[in-house]
């Protein structure tokens, strides 16, 4: 047992040495093929090994003026010929790109023409139909009492002006009527005038006061009537309920005209003005378009939403527009004429805006363009860089952009090389053939190597 234990360390040591030897050998071989041992070969005079490392792994000759181990090895798969750099353009980092028609079809290149057209700004918003606030009535009672009878029992009921809404019994009203009759019988004209004025302020109609004077019988209930014709939007009273002056009993709206209220963002306000034409499309009737005009722009900006309410009145004679309906609002602002290009033709790099102009010979030139601040129906206004009638790329522009940058980068890389042409390796001059009777002497370099041995 002791013998086995003592013999184990020499075995492990040999394995470790063997592994270290393999690692050192692999490292030396890698350094040889990558050219890292070239300086050492120069010092030792091992020119045969140095010459073997002057070739790349692909067997391609080096560019003239370059040495292995100094970045002179060619990159497999990269064409470093001067023709691959492309034609330089006016924009730094970009080149004019030639693309064959077959390749254009494969990558989906489409082109369009720069046109001069109307600058029509379209603002779209979603609005809600609301009652016209100038045609809205809130019904209250001016005395305390109890609702003895309700004539309008549900929301949505149509009423006409003067229709009865409910009857109210009020002890104060009954007592005031009796006081008015006593003043008339006692010929107390001043008191009778004061009491009559009190009845009028409580909302008692003049015809009911004349009826009281004629019959000399006070009424136990006061009939409350509708002040306008319209539709009942709210009802907050039931038969037998006590009512107070501050209680809102009904809310009635005349819906022959309604309002469309839409929210417009802050940056859209310069394109909105009172009297501007508007197109309205209801969600319930998408096939129908309604014309209107802006009648009011809210003077205060809502801080939380950064919007402003815009009002458009709509005639509603057939009662087809209901409060609460959604509608799309389109406001168009004419801003003259200008050059327009599709949104897909513009490449935003963050530093500049680019477009690719089509040149003769299936070439594409990058052009820096200046755009206007607004967008017109998925089109941009071009202020500088293009002219009317120019043919530009409208699809696959990103692929052409990448190709243009690659061509420019390839040209920059080839311009940094030490030589511009590929030269074959230089051959050593051959010594003259020995004359007859003379023996061939070894070269001085070989003698130097033999002497070293």
Structural domain harbouring 98:
89-117+336-415
* 226 and 160, same domain (yes or no): yes
By C-alpha distance, which of 342, 372, 371 is closest to 115?
A: 342
* 185 and 197, same domain (yes or no): yes
Residue 275 maps to a domain: yes
* 244 and 329, same domain (yes or no): no
Residue 350 maps to a domain: yes
* 263 and 128, same domain (yes or no): yes
Domain end point (choices 199, 219, 253): 253
* 178 and 319, same domain (yes or no): no
Could you read off the pLDDT of 355-375 as tens digits, one per residue?
Answer: 999 999 999 999 999 999 888
Residue 201 maps to a domain: yes
Cα 367 from Cα 348, distance rounded (Å): 12
By C-alpha distance, which of 283, 374, 288 is closest to 332?
A: 374
* 320 and 354, same domain (yes or no): no
Q: Label residue 431 by pLDDT band (50, 70, 90).
A: very low
* 202 and 302, same domain (yes or no): no
Cα 298 from Cα 306, distance rounded (Å): 12
> Which residues make Cβ contacts (< 8 Å) with residue 374, sequence separation at least 6?
119, 121, 335, 381
Residue 57 maps to a domain: no
On the question of pLDDT at 433 being above 90, the answer is no
* Mean pLDDT, residues 32-58 taken together: 53
Domain end point (choices 285, 319, 335): 335
Residue 189 maps to a domain: yes
Give the β-pairing of 158-159 and 145-150. Answer: unpaired
Could you read off the pLDDT of 94-115 as tens digits, one per residue?
Answer: 999 999 999 999 999 999 999 9
Residue 40 maps to a domain: no
Could you read off the pLDDT of 168-190 as tens digits, one per residue?
Answer: 999 999 999 999 999 988 888 88
* 159 and 221, same domain (yes or no): yes
pLDDT at site 442? 43
CATH number at residue 312: 2.40.30.170
* Least confident residue range of 30-39, 67-76, 284-293, 322-331: 67-76
* 101 and 112, same domain (yes or no): yes
* 247 and 345, same domain (yes or no): no
Residue 449 maps to a domain: no
* 142 and 249, same domain (yes or no): yes
On the question of pLDDT at 324 being above 50, the answer is yes
Residue 66 maps to a domain: no
Could you read off the pLDDT of 60-75 as tens digits, one per residue?
Answer: 434 333 444 444 433 3
CATH number at residue 232: 2.40.50.100
CATH number at residue 353: 2.40.420.20
* 237 and 296, same domain (yes or no): no
pLDDT at site 367? 95
The total domain count for the chain is 3
Domain end point (choices 302, 335, 368): 335
Could you read off the pLDDT of 178-233 as tens digits, one per residue?
Answer: 999 999 888 888 899 999 999 989 888 888 899 998 999 998 888 999 999 999 99
Answer yes or no: are the C-beta atoms of 141 and 172 closer than 8 Å: no
């Amino acid at each position: 047992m002791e013998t086995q234990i003592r013999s184990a360390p020499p075995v492990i040591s040999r394995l470790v040495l063997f592994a270290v030897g393999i690692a050192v050998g692999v490292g030396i071989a890698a350094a040889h093929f990558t050219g890292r041992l070239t300086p050492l070969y120069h010092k030792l005079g091992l020119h045969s090994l140095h010459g073997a490392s002057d070739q790349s792994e692909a067997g391609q000759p080096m560019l003239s003026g370059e040495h292995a181990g100094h970045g002179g090895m060619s990159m497999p798969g990269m064409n470093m010929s001067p023709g691959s750099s492309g034609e330089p353009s006016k924009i730094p980092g970009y080149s004019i790109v030639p693309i064959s028609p077959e390749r254009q079809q494969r990558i989906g290149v489409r082109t369009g023409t720069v046109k001069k057209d109307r600058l029509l700004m379209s603002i779209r918003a979603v609005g809600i139909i609301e009652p016209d606030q100038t045609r809205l009535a809130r019904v209250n009672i001016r005395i305390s009492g109890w609702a003895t009878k309700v004539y309008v029992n549900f929301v949505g009921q149509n009423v006409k002006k003067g229709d009865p809404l409910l009857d109210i019994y009020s002890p104060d009203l009954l007592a005031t009527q009796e006081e008015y009759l006593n003043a008339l019988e006692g010929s107390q004209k001043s008191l009778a005038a004061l009491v009559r004025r009190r009845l009028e302020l409580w909302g008692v109609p003049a015809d009911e006061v004349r009826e009281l004077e004629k019959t000399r019988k006070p009424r136990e209930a006061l009939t409350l009537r509708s002040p306008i014709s319209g539709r009942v939007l709210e009802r907050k009273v039931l038969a037998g309920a006590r009512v107070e002056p501050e209680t809102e009993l009904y809310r009635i709206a005349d819906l022959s005209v309604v309002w469309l209220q839409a929210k417009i963002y802050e940056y859209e306000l310069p394109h909105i003005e009172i009297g501007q034409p508007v197109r309205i499309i209801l969600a319930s009737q998408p096939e129908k378009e309604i014309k209107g005009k802006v009648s009011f722009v809210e003077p205060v900006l809502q801080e939380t939403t950064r919007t402003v309410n815009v009002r458009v009145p709509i005639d509603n004679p057939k009662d087809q527009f209901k409060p609460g309906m959604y509608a799309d609002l389109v406001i168009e602002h004419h801003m003259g004429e200008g050059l327009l290009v599709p949104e897909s033709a513009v490449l935003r790099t963050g530093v500049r805006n680019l477009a690719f102009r089509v040149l003769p010979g299936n070439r594409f030139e990058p052009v820096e363009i200046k755009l206007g601040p607004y967008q017109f129906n998925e089109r941009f206004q071009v202020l500088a860089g293009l002219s009317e009638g120019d043919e530009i790329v409208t699809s696959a522009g990103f692929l052409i952009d990448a190709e243009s940058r690659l061509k420019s980068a390839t040209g920059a890389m080839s311009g940094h090389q030490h030589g511009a042409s590929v030269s074959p390796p230089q051959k050593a001059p051959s010594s003259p053939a020995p004359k007859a009777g003379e023996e061939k002497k070894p070269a001085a370099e070989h003698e130097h190597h033999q002497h070293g041995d």
